[in-house]
């Protein structure tokens, strides 16, 4: 008896195990292999910039600048910026697409209940009325024998990982853009203060010149020259006010607020943030791991490689299993009895015999798309290396320029004071006074601009190094948008 039961059950178990064995077959299409990249061992301009190559935490680099207002602005930007909300929405879309793709691996089960009532013709039949009640389940499943669906899931997982990296890259860009606009605002305010101070001095010089003209010690030409010098300085003030207003409005937009909403918060000049005593740039290999745009480009390369296999699977047969189970009865009360059970099991194999080369063309298209993703990945690496080297060169050169301009500013101030004293004593002509005052304004303005340029180069350096995010960076205040990304890691 046991042997007979065993012989009846064994074929059925074998039939049920067949789809599982088929699905466990190897995936068609290429597996991802990380491309070789030609990355230098050290930064070429790190020594000229007096930057160490040690690795430091740059996830919140702006706190090293010692400016509480800047830190609060960046923190607010990373919570409410429209760009951040857009990146979060794209991440949620990628997560939903992954869930949709994973659903293709599972069977589809549907339930239905039907009731019908029919009456036959008395002329050709009995003329009786018949009822028919049905209830049951339908199931269908495509066995992923050659891995086309699993390759689609692999692609969707890496699309999600790329969207996560894009979100991190948004953090990097927003922090840098906020800091750059803040430096522009403070620089404009500083240069405005320098212009106002020089305007006051030049106004006093004009008054002295007018008094000397009245006393017969100066000419009308000298008076007009003094007025010209003063009005030229006055003319620079509206431009500096415009520059400050544009930076202030841009900061408001970055925070997701209307223009001019930060006037009260930023109107009082607080000077430029201070450069940190030490800056660490790490090594190129660390930068490639840190920059989220490189991570995103590689995740997209992995996804497009997986899609080559997804398209290749179309060349192979597809296996489908289906069936239904339910009850059929003439009365509602009888529905569910053992005698009303009806069932069917279906299995099918389909294979494209001729399609005019469309499947091969789709594979060729996807191969080209995968190659484009590879070139984009390689170009992103080269661009990252270029940005870091440019930022290091700019930072180092600005430090040298600032040292020279600071010494020049001291000399220009001394020369202006001496020239004015000697002119009032009648020892030199008025042209020397004009020249020294004009030189002092130019040097002081250049120094203020250079200090801002130095900070901007440092901010650009931190951005190019990929600073401004961590793996656990907050995605949103809502719990439904903060999940980890499970994907193929580069």
Q: Is residue 11 part of a domain?
A: no
Q: Is residue 114 part of a domain?
A: no
> Which residue has better confidence, 13 or 434?
434
Q: Give the CATH number, domain containing residue 311.
A: 1.20.1600.10
Q: Is residue 489 part of a domain?
A: no
How do residues 66-83 score in pLDDT, each as one tens digit?
999 999 999 999 999 999
pLDDT of residue 479: 37
How do residues 168-192 score in pLDDT, each as one tens digit?
999 999 999 999 999 999 999 999 9
What would the two tokens of residue 472 be? 């656990």
Total count of domains within the chain: 1
pLDDT of residue 337: 77
Q: Is residue 15 part of a domain?
A: no
Q: Is residue 288 part of a domain?
A: yes
Q: Is residue 248 part of a domain?
A: yes
pLDDT at 19 over 80: no
pLDDT at 226 over 90: no
pLDDT at 355 over 90: no
* Domain carrying residue 67: 22-109+145-319+357-481
pLDDT at 12 over 90: no
Confidence band, pLDDT 50/70/90 cuts, at residue 148? very high
| Distances from the Cα of 414 to the Cα of 285, 410, 417, 418, 433, angstroms | 49, 6, 5, 6, 12
CB 194 within 8 A of CB 412: no
pLDDT of residue 131: 79
pLDDT of residue 219: 84
How do residues 123-139 score in pLDDT, each as one tens digit?
676 667 777 778 888 88
pLDDT at 107 over 80: yes
Spatial separation of the C-alpha atoms in residues 262 and 268, rounded to whole Å? 11
How do residues 322-333 score in pLDDT, each as one tens digit?
888 788 877 777
How do residues 255-293 score in pLDDT, each as one tens digit?
999 998 998 888 877 789 988 878 888 899 999 999 999
| Distances from the Cα of 448 to the Cα of 187, 270, 413, 415, angstroms | 7, 14, 15, 19
> What's the whole-number average pLDDT of the chain?
85
CB 419 within 8 A of CB 428: yes
Spatial separation of the C-alpha atoms in residues 113 and 430, rounded to whole Å? 105
Average pLDDT score over residue span 337-363: 86
Average pLDDT score over residue span 204-210: 86
pLDDT of residue 122: 64
E runs forming strands in 48-160: 108-119, 129-143
pLDDT at 336 over 80: no
CB 59 within 8 A of CB 468: yes
CB 94 within 8 A of CB 160: yes
* Nearest CA-CA partner of 420 in 408, 431, 405: 431
Q: Is residue 486 part of a domain?
A: no
What would the two tokens of residue 98 be? 């992954």
pLDDT at 375 over 90: yes
How do residues 395-453 score in pLDDT, each as one tens digit?
999 988 989 999 999 999 899 889 888 877 777 777 788 888 888 888 988 999 999 99
pLDDT at 205 over 80: yes
End-to-end C-alpha distance for the chain, whole angstroms: 58
Confidence band, pLDDT 50/70/90 cuts, at residue 121? low
Q: Is residue 17 part of a domain?
A: no
pLDDT of residue 11: 43
> Which residue has better confidence, 430 or 454?
454
| CA–CA–CA angle 344, 349, 354 (5° rounding) | 145
Q: Is 260 exposed, middle or buried (0-12, 13-18, 19+ CB in 10 A)?
A: exposed
């Amino acid at each position: 008896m046991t042997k007979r039961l065993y012989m009846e059950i064994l074929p059925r178990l074998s039939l049920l195990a067949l789809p599982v064995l088929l699905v466990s077959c190897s995936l068609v299409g290429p597996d991802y292999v990380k491309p070789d990249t030609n990355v230098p061992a050290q930064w070429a301009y790190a020594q000229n910039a007096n930057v160490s190559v040690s690795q430091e935490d740059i996830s919140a680099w702006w706190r090293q600048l010692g400016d509480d207002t800047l830190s609060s602005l960046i923190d607010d930007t990373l919570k409410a910026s429209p760009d951040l909300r857009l990146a979060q929405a794209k991440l949620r879309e990628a997560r939903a697409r992954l869930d949709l793709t994973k659903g293709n691996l599972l069977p589809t089960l549907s339930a239905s209940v039907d009731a019908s009532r029919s009456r036959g013709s008395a002329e050709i039949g009995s003329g009786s009325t018949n009822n028919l009640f049905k209830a049951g389940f339908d199931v269908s499943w495509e066995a992923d024998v050659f891995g086309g669906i699993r390759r689609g899931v692999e692609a969707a997982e890496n699309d999600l990982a790329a969207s996560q990296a894009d979100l991190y890259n948004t953090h990097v860009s927003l922090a840098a853009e906020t800091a750059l606009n803040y430096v522009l605002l403070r620089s404009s305010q500083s240069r405005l203060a320098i212009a106002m101070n020089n305007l006051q001095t030049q106004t006093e010089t004009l008054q002295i010149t007018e008094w000397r003209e009245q006393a017969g010690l100066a000419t009308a030409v000298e008076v007009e020259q003094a007025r010209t010098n003063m009005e030229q300085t006055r003319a620079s003030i509206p431009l500096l006010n415009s520059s400050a207003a544009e930076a202030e409005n841009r900061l408001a937009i970055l925070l997701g607020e209307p223009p001019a909403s930060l006037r009260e918060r930023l109107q009082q000049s607080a000077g430029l943030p201070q450069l940190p005593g030490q800056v660490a740039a790490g090594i190129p290999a660390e930068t490639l791991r840190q920059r989220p745009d490189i991570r995103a480009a590689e995740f997209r390369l992995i996804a497009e490689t997986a899609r080559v296999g997804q398209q290749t699977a179309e060349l192979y047969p597809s296996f489908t299993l289906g069936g239904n189970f339910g009850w059929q009865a003439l009365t509602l009360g009888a529905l569910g009895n053992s005698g009303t059970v009806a069932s069917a099991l279906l299995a099918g194999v389909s294979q494209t015999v001729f399609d005019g080369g469309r499947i091969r063309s789709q594979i060729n298209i996807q191969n080209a798309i995968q190659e484009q993703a590879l070139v984009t990945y390689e170009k992103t690496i080269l661009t990252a290396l270029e940005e870091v080297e440019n930022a290091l060169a700019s930072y180092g050169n600005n430090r040298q320029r600032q040292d020279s301009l600071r010494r020049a500013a001291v000399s220009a101030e001394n020369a202006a004071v001496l020239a004015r004293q000697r002119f009032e004593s009648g020892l030199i002509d008025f042209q020397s006074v004009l020249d020294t005052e004009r030189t002092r304004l130019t040097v002081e303005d250049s120094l203020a601009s250079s200090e801002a340029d130095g900070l901007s180069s440092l901010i650009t350096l931190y951005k190019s190094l990929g600073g401004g995010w961590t793996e656990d960076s907050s995605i949103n205040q809502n719990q439904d948008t903060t999940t980890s990304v499970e994907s193929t890691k580069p």
